[in-house]
Amino acid sequence: MAFFVNIVSIHGDIMSFTQCSKRASYSRQPTQYGDFYADVQKRLQLWDSSLPPHLQYRAENTYANLKSEDLTSYLRLHVSRCACGIQLHFAGRPDQLPANTLRYNIQQAFQFAFTTLSLIAILAECDYRTAIPLNVERALSEPFLVPAIIRACDIVSSGGSQEVLAQVKERLRTAAFVVGYAARRWRTAEMQHRAIEDRLKQLESVEKLGKRDWVMNSSLENIGDNMLFAVLPEFRMEAITAIADRYR
């Protein structure tokens, strides 16, 4: 519980800075963001190193927790950690950051988003033709997953090339399953489920048209701080395609 409280506290500080940065002057904001970024990175690194071996984000731990009563706690920790990573790289105002910083931030946000969806994908690896294990059912019913999943889907599907399209679609299908399951218990998840399904239809259209690249013009979210949709689509594509090989 202490690990979760700490990571949520860090996320709260990042969100507060994000709101404040919208009102910062041009001359002060880049310096403020750089100082804040360095401080939060130190806190996140300390948090990472404080986790005991069995709670660290590793493939063997992830699959071990699939059969553990600690599955929900494990997911909370690492989905929240990814949320911190995404939001930290969205915290600065894109119109006031150097191009190299902006490019790096987009790439880092993409990486954390893909990690989120890869982590969620383990929930789809059970045999659902029989009874769903109780620990998986509890994890699937957790409302904290839905906002993190929708943001990750938004980022990962915001643009790319045909080479990664199949991988992106696979991740979004899994996300749609998990959010759809959550919507059985939480009505607020129904809208997010429809949004992911609509994005999947858009990606299907991209595939049918045989386009080499795609870029989305609107966000799945309505919270207004998704940096990806505040930069020129060409710049976004340049940043994403530069790291596409990591996700094939």
- pLDDT, one tens digit per residue, over 92-109 is 888 888 899 999 999 999
d(CA 182, CA 73): 17
Q: Which of 222, 207, 76 is nearest to 150 (CA)?
A: 222
Question: Nearest 5°: phi and psi at 214?
Answer: -140, 155
Q: Can you tell me which residue has the tokens 């310096």?
A: 31
Amino acid identity for residue 241 in this structure: T
Residue range 12-19: mean pLDDT, rounded: 90
Choice between 25 and 144, residue whose per-residue pLDDT is larger: 144
Q: What is the pTM of this model?
A: 0.89
Residue 80 has pLDDT above 80, yes or no: yes
Q: What percent of the chain has pLDDT over 70?
A: 89
Q: Which two tokens stand for residue 74?
A: 């494990």
In which domain, by residue range, is 87 found?
2-247
CB 150 within 8 A of CB 196: yes
Distance of CA 156 to the CA centre of its chain: 8
Percent of the chain with pLDDT over 90: 40
Helix (H, G, I), strand (E, B) or coil at 32: helix
Q: What is the CA radius of gyration of the chain?
A: 18
Contact 199, 220 (CB under 8 A): yes
pLDDT in tens, 141-176: 777 889 999 999 999 999 888 888 889 999 999 999
Number of folded domains that form the chain: 1
Q: Which of 147, 146, 122 is nearest to 135 (CA)?
A: 122
